[in-house]
Amino acid sequence: MTGPAHDASPSAAAPLEGILVADFSRVLAGPLATMTLADLGARVVKVERPEAGDDTRAWGPPWSPHAATYFEGVNRNKESVALDLKDAADRERARRLAIRADVVIENFLPGTLERVGLGYDDVARQNPGVVYVSITGFGSAGGARLPGYDFVVQALGGLMHITGEADGDPMKVGVALVDVLTGKDAVIGVLAALRRRAQTGAGSRIEVSLLSSLQGALANQAAAHLGAGASPTRMGNMHPSIAPYELLRCADGPLAIACGNDGQFAKLAAAVGVPELAQDERFRTNTQRVANRPALREALEAALAAAPAAEWQERLNGVGVPAGQAGDIAEGLAFAERIGLEPTIEVMGADGASHGRQVRHPVLWQPPFEPPRRAAPALDEHGDDVRAWLDAD
């Protein structure tokens, strides 16, 4: 469905080559979903408000030399067109985009696009194969009018209740994790719907909410409540079911150590010079270690005080015990680079100049394809071309 002048697929091998995405989303969850589809070769046309654009264009600092880094981080490989949905001509262009698209993704308050003729029923009437995705904060029923912001959903959904120190306040995660999870869930829904459409020809109406994505990601913590009536709470860096699985202090600072089974714990005890801990009745099994966590931590930190964290990390990894220093983002990217993961890519502006580096799409493919590397667009950067394409009969 893409116009030949706008074919954004990077190579013949791109998995989503030929897929057109109409992106009516803004902020994080929706734009992350559409950027993921763009990274996989889809053509994504991002519809923005005239003059202001996506909210995150103004979410700085920090700013790169080109834009707010928040916006840049989730909008690469897209075309931007500014359309005023209150204007009849622009509204008709938006309708034409939606009925040409394979995928429509929006995150307006429920009912908003219906009022301007861009709801699912309106689009599917002329585009029955469309995969139409609505991202909401709290669904389209009782929570339809509630504004969905990641921070508030972390609070309401229970994530903050299990994050932070035991004697401290509830704490949010250090990134807008619920938005990220919701964006990824939306992509999963899109790919499954495209697969079904390829088999049956039928389109799909998909809804994903921030609250549902959060609760779906609570994993073992939700299972503890539902399956055993337990009430998970904040434990700092400790794990509710495994020990040791936390930050332990070494001679110069903390080290994350994770022992997922009794064999790993025996290797840990031997490596730090206290093999007898593995035979101590308080620590022989994981269940016993969890029950005696304070004594276990005291014994291990007494041994770890003999050397700095970096030395212990090397020793423990050498014998198969998961361990790592708590570095910052720069150190994490540098570590990924050292072990050959190539975590970043350079993105290029329309003028061919570098717009810096971004974290690459995390999936590696065989056979490989070269994903596009276009920087996030300026507001209405592609507006003239897209409007001319949409106005053409």
Instruction: Kindly state whether residue 179 falls inside one of the protein's structural domains.
Output: yes
Identify the pLDDT of residue 365: 86
Give the count of domains, the chain.
2
Identify the pLDDT of residue 312: 98
Lowest mean pLDDT: which of 132-136, 305-309, 365-369, 370-374?
Answer: 365-369
Band of residue 366 on the pLDDT scale cut at 50, 70, 90: confident
User: Cα 207–214–179 angle (5° rounding)?
Assistant: 70
Residue 2 in this model has a pLDDT that exceeds 90: no
Task: Give the CATH number for residue 268.
Answer: 3.30.1540.10
Task: Give the CATH number for residue 175.
Answer: 3.40.50.10540
Answer yes or no: do 149 and 36 share one domain: yes
Instruction: Kindly state whether residue 238 falls inside one of the protein's structural domains.
Output: no
Query: Distances in Å between the alpha carbon of 98 and those of 45, 118, 134, 193?
Result: 10, 8, 13, 17
Identify the pLDDT of residue 188: 98
Answer yes or no: do 125 and 13 share one domain: yes
Identify the pLDDT of residue 101: 98
Identify the pLDDT of residue 16: 96
- Given a contact cutoff of 8 angstroms between Cβ atoms, the answer to whether 42 and 20 are in contact is yes
Instruction: Kindly state whether residue 96 falls inside one of the protein's structural domains.
Output: yes
Which parts of 66-176 fold into alpha helices (H)?
Answer: 69-72, 88-100, 120-126, 150-156
Identify the pLDDT of residue 4: 32
Distance in angstroms (rounded) separating the CA atoms of residues 137 and 119: 17
Residue 123 in this model has a pLDDT that exceeds 50: yes
Identify the pLDDT of residue 11: 46
Residue 369 in this model has a pLDDT that exceeds 90: no
Among 276, 294, 329, give the residue marking a domain's end. 329
Instruction: Kindly state whether residue 235 falls inside one of the protein's structural domains.
Output: no
The arithmetic mean of pLDDT across residues 101-106, rounded, is 98
Answer yes or no: do 42 and 156 share one domain: yes
Answer yes or no: do 117 and 266 share one domain: no
Among 302, 329, 356, give the residue marking a domain's end. 329
The arithmetic mean of pLDDT across residues 56-80, rounded, is 97
The CA-to-CA distance between both ends of the chain, in Å, stands at 14
Answer yes or no: do 272 and 347 share one domain: no
Q: What is the pLDDT of residues 327-353, one digit of tens each?
A: 999 999 999 999 999 999 999 999 999
pTM: 0.92
Identify the pLDDT of residue 8: 43
Place of tokens 């005291």: 298
Residue 224 in this model has a pLDDT that exceeds 50: yes
Instruction: Kindly state whether residue 282 falls inside one of the protein's structural domains.
Output: yes
Nearest residue to 205 (alpha-carbon basis) of 136, 126, 130: 130
Q: Known catalytic residue: 179?
A: yes
Distance in angstroms (rounded) separating the CA atoms of residues 232 and 224: 7
Amino acid at 248: L
What is the maximum span of the chain, computed from C-alpha positions, in angstroms? 80
Answer yes or no: do 38 and 137 share one domain: yes
Instruction: Kindly state whether residue 224 falls inside one of the protein's structural domains.
Output: no
Answer yes or no: do 366 and 282 share one domain: no
Distance in angstroms (rounded) separating the CA atoms of residues 75 and 71: 6
**Parent domain of 325:** 245-329
Band of residue 371 on the pLDDT scale cut at 50, 70, 90: confident
Q: What is the pLDDT of residues 264-273, one digit of tens each?
A: 999 999 999 9
Answer yes or no: do 78 and 164 share one domain: yes
Answer yes or no: do 206 and 81 share one domain: yes
Give the 3-state secondary structure of 267-292.
HHHHHCCCHHHHHCCCCCCHHHHHHC
Three-state DSSP class for residue 384: helix
Instruction: Kindly state whether residue 52 falls inside one of the protein's structural domains.
Output: yes
Answer yes or no: do 36 and 107 share one domain: yes
**What's the full length of the chain, in residues?**
393
Three-state DSSP class for residue 305: coil
Residue 379 in this model has a pLDDT that exceeds 60: yes
Residue 141 in this model has a pLDDT that exceeds 60: yes
Q: What is the pLDDT of residues 236-284, one digit of tens each?
A: 999 999 999 999 999 999 999 999 999 999 999 999 999 999 999 999 9
Q: Which of 23, 90, 179, 185 is catalytic?
A: 179
Three-state DSSP class for residue 66: coil
Among 294, 329, 364, give the residue marking a domain's end. 329
Answer yes or no: do 24 and 82 share one domain: yes
Q: Which residue has the higher pLDDT, 86 or 367?
A: 86
Identify the pLDDT of residue 3: 40
Tokens at 277, concatenated: 């801990």
Instruction: Kindly state whether residue 289 falls inside one of the protein's structural domains.
Output: yes
Lowest mean pLDDT: which of 140-144, 200-204, 363-367?
Answer: 363-367
The arithmetic mean of pLDDT across residues 109-125, rounded, is 96
Answer yes or no: do 141 and 253 share one domain: no
Band of residue 13 on the pLDDT scale cut at 50, 70, 90: confident
Provide CB contacts within 8 A for 125, sequence distance 6+.
none
Band of residue 65 on the pLDDT scale cut at 50, 70, 90: very high
